Structure formats: C-alpha cells, structure tokens
C-alpha cells in the first residue's frame, strides 16, 4: 500500500491506555490483514489531527462529548482504519479497503409471525435454500405487544430468531448476538406481526446496474445521560458512517433507509446515572420518543441532511429531520443497532430500494412515490394491483400532527385519555398503507420526531426488479 493511498484511505481510531483493546486487536489479526495494518501504521505516524485529508469531505470529531477516556480520532474518515478499528473493538463487520470493494448481493424475505415467538418462517427460508443462516445480517420486524417500555414481545421474538441462527448456522453465540434485529412493538389496527429478513452473500452484478446493498453497525455504548443530548447525536452519526462503509456506499444520496434501534431510559438506568453524578434529559416514559428523535438527528447529520444541531434543537425544532430515518428504541440494548440500505452499482441480487415522505397520515401518494423511486413503473393513479407482486415491503414512520388537525379537520388523537395517540396514528397509517400495497404485513412505527416532516414521516420501499 502506497503512502498516498494510506493517506486517502482514511480514518483511524485508538483507545488511550487500553491494553485489553490492544490484546483483542492483535488476537484478531491474520495474514490477509497485513496491508490494513501497514496502512494503519502509516496514517498513525502521519497524525493528521481531526483535519480531513485526501478527497474526503466528511470529518470525524475529536473525543465524543462526555467521553474523556474514550476514543481519540486522529485522521480523516476512510475504510482502511475503520477496518482496523472494527477488528480492535469487535463491533460490526470491517468495511472494505476501498469504496465498492465488497462483493455483495442481498436477498430479502418477508415472513409472518404466527405467534409472538414464532420463527418457523425463518427456518423455512433457510431449509428451502432461499438464504443461508450465516448470511443473514439483519432482521426488521413488527411484534404484537403494546409498543411501550414494558413491551417484552420484542425480546421473545428476538430470542426466537437468534436461536434459529445458532441452530442452523456456524457462527458463535457472540457473532449471532451482534446481528442487528430491530423489533418494533405494536400491531394496532390491521397490521400483521411479521419480519423482513436480509441476507448478504458475495455475488456481484453488472457494473452499470445499481442494486440493493446493506451495511450494519453497532455504535459504542449510549449512556442514560446521553439520550436526548448532542453526545447521542454524534455517537449515532459515527455508527451510520460505519454502516455506510460496510455497505460500500460512498454517496449519501444513494442511501434510502436507515433503520435503528437505540436504548431508552429505565428506572435502573436513571439511578445508575445519578450515582455517577449525571442527570438525564427526560423522564422514563418520554424517553422512547426522545431517543428516536435524537437518533433521527444523528442519521441526518451523518448523511449531510442537516448540520450538527444545537442542544436546544433536539426534540424541539421539528423543521430538522431525516427523510430516510426510521428509529425505534427499547429496553433490550444499550447502544445503537444500525441497518443502512441503499443502491450500489455492481451489487448483485434482484432488489432495489427507494424512499419518499408522507406529508400526513392520508398521503397514499407518498407510499406510491417511494415504490416508484425504488424502480417500479406505476400508472398515474396506481392501485395495489399495479404492483404485480414485486413489492417486498414498505417501512414507514408516523406521528399524530401536533396541530390537532388533518387536512383542515379537527382530530382527537392527542386528547384521548383512553387510547394513546401513538396507537391511533399507527392504526390509521397502517390501514392506509395496507390498502395501498394490498398487504397488512407492513412496517409502521410511531414516535417520528425528526423523522420526516411533522405530522408525516418517511416511507421506504423495497422491490424486486429482476424476474
């Protein structure tokens, strides 16, 4: 590897005073990693501070706020040292040496959950050869619980799906535990509990055709006191950049979907933060929306949709949002699980992805716009029958309009003391979406602050484009 190439390749990450990290790093090395180690040594010796080098326009920050003993960054972003960092931390799959280097084809399957801990559909996909257990890199699903802090249906579904990966694959327990599985609770109205499963292998496609590519990452720990604050925005943004590198996508405009699952507050977490002399930004029951909204801003920052927000903008200035973010949160994790999807030339497989936004809860045209953006030719006034069975699934976020109006008419969602407005809006948008695509197994999630325009939300569609 030349010096110039090592300079351009990017970003490295070391942890001060951490012999355990060094031990983990050296233990994971192999002969084929030698070029990456040489590159790491070169850029480390050059020591660029936080200034960018080469052609990269995105810079990485110095140590994250409230992390004086954590990571120190000393070069520009890029795949060489991201690979070294991920080998050292054990977080995520090391990204490619150069953009587009991954050989990748993505297979997608949507399966119904016949009961809360049912993973038989996943077993069928594996046993019929549709995908290999060891190739599965992400799962995004809806479970039938209440969608709240104490919704344990997400944990039951998660355990069932991970058990299948262990039983039918060869990965270690630790490797299976790192597979992002994003479960959104609550199937109000007509929504059917289901999961969309993504597998990735090394097939390629024509260089002049863009097909679905997927990248995954796990962020560093998000502490209770970070939720709703700039530290979480930066942590999520870092993870999104890693997931983008893992997908081999270099242009943020090619990213159409970032699905995350992040921690929320619990009483134990608040108590633990207080014992360290820290405060939290909100109460436990508000933390789901706050965690989702803060994550949405982190995604928007990473993809250049907005600049870094001020602390007072978080969950307040709703003019700031991402058009591709879909953020969920739960008690089952302590860091951000990130699944990023876009289209990349040369990727194999027969799927494409696209996105649009719903301007309000009735914006069925926004759903069809996302499907068209993914690559299906639709008539001027499309119906579900026009999709021809080529739509895999739609993923969308929604929230009650804070003005209490919908197309000029008064709404009572925000005033209902019996049924929370989340359940109203999820059921309503789920019905619109099911009618649009002719399938009630559709991913609809609430708490959409900073995810699409206020009162609406992003819509993402994955379609089959090859017969």
Active site (catalytic) residues: 261, 328
Return the bridge partners of 223, or none: none
Contacts of 159-164 with CB under 8 Å at 24 or more apart are 159/117, 160/117, 160/118, 160/119, 161/119, 161/122, 161/195, 163/119, 164/119, 164/122, 164/123, 164/126, 164/133
At residue 233, the 3 state secondary structure works out as helix
Spatial CA neighbour of 96 closest among 118, 80, 112: 80
> What's the Rg (C-alpha) of the chain?
21
Contact 373, 357 (CB under 8 A): no
Tokens of 455: 């009162």
Pairing assessment for the beta strands 255-263 and 335-345 based on DSSP bridges: antiparallel
Distance, CA of 407 to chain centre:
31
Residue with tokens 């069975």: 389
- Is the sign of the CA dihedral 354, 349, 240, 276 positive or negative? positive
Spatial CA neighbour of 323 closest among 342, 341, 303: 303
Name the phi and psi angles at 39, rounded to 5.
Answer: -60, -40
End-to-end Cα, the chain, rounded Å = 41
């Amino acid at each position: 590897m030349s010096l110039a190439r090592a300079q351009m390749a990017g970003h490295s990450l070391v942890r001060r005073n951490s012999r355990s990290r060094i031990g983990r790093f050296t233990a994971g090395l192999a002969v084929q990693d030698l070029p990456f180690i040489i590159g790491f040594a070169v850029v480390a010796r050059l020591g660029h501070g936080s200034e960018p080098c080469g052609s990269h326009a995105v810079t990485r920050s110095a140590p994250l706020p409230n992390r004086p003993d954590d990571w120190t960054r000393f070069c520009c972003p890029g795949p060489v040292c991201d690979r070294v960092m991920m080998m050292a931390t054990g977080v995520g799959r090391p990204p490619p040496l150069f953009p587009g280097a991954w050989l990748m084809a993505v297979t997608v399957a949507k399966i119904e959950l016949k009961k809360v801990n049912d993973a038989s559909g996943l077993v069928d996909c594996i046993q019929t050869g549709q995908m290999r257990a060891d190739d599965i890199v992400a799962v995004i699903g809806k479970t039938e619980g209440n969608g709240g802090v104490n919704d344990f249906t997400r944990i039951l579904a998660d355990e069932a799906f991970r058990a299948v990966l262990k039983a039918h694959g060869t990965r270690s327990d630790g490797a299976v535990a790192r597979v992002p599985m994003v479960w959104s609770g609550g199937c109000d109205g007509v929504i059917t509990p289901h999961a969309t499963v993504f597998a990735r292998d090394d097939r390629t496609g024509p260089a002049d055709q863009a097909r679905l590519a997927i990248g995954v990452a796990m962020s560093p720990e998000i502490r209770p006191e970070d939720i709703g604050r700039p530290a979480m925005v930066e942590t999520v943004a870092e993870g999104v950049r890693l997931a983008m590198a893992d997908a081999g996508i270099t242009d943020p405009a090619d990213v159409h979907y970032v699905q995350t699952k992040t921690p929320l507050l619990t009483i134990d977490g608040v108590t633990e933060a207080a014992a360290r002399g820290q405060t939290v930004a909100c109460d436990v029951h508000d933390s789901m929306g706050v965690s989702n909204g803060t994550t949405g801003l982190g995604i928007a920052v990473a993809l250049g949709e907005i600049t870094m927000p001020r602390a007072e903008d978080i969950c307040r200035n709703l003019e700031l949002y991402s058009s591709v973010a879909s953020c969920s949160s739960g008690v089952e994790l302590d860091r951000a699980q990130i699944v990023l999807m876009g289209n990349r030339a040369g990727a194999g497989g027969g799927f494409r992805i696209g996105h649009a936004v719903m301007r309000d809860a009735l914006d069925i045209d926004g759903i069809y716009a996302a499907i068209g953006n993914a690559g299906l030719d639709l008539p001027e006034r499309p119906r579900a029958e026009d999709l021809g069975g080529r739509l895999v699934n739609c993923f969308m976020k929604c929230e009650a309009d804070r003005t209490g109006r919908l197309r000029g008419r008064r709404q009572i969602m925000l005033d209902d003391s019996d049924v929370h407005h989340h359940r109203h809006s999820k059921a309503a948008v789920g019905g619109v979406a099911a009618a649009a695509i002719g399938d009630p197994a559709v991913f609809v999630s609430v708490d959409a602050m900073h995810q699409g325009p206020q009162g609406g939300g992003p819509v993402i569609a994955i379609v089959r484009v090859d017969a």
